């Protein structure tokens, strides 16, 4: 299975190019750096926050869901969310 961040990055790049935009354009609109956009597009980030994904989508004037057209990404993100939920639930038990 391909890394979900690489797949997400590929989708972002394809959408950006299809709209005739440069990474610099997206970076300025999303209040991010062009270097960060490049790292996201190349799958060289460990994770991207929901807020950043929403800002990138908004910068390209596409619905956020357009960045997740691949079911594999959605499944991977759901697994990640479930693990995080379990982790924080366990951490909450330790604090008591």
Residue 67 has a pLDDT of 83
- State pTM to two decimals: 0.70
Note down the domain range covering 54: 4-95
* pLDDT at residue 48 tops 80: yes
Number of structural domains the chain divides into: 1
- Rounded Cα gap, residues 8 and 4, in angstroms: 6
Residue 36 has a pLDDT of 97
More confident residue, 80 or 59: 59
Residue 1 has a pLDDT of 42
Q: What are the CA-CA distances from residue 70 to residues 73, 76, 80, 85, 92 (Å)?
A: 6, 10, 16, 23, 33
Q: Which CATH number is 81's domain given? A: 1.10.260.40
Average pLDDT along the chain: 83
């Amino acid at each position: 299975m391909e890394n979900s961040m690489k797949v997400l990055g590929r989708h972002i790049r394809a959408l950006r190019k299809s709209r005739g935009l440069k990474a610099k354009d997206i970076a300025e609109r999303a209040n991010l750096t062009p270097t960060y956009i490049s790292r996201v597009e190349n799958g060289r980030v460990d994770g991207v926050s929901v807020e950043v994904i929403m800002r990138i989508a908004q910068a390209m004037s596409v619905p956020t869901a357009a960045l997740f057209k691949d079911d594999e990404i959605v499944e991977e993100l759901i697994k990640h969310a479930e693990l995080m939920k379990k982790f924080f639930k366990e951490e909450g038990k330790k604090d008591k």
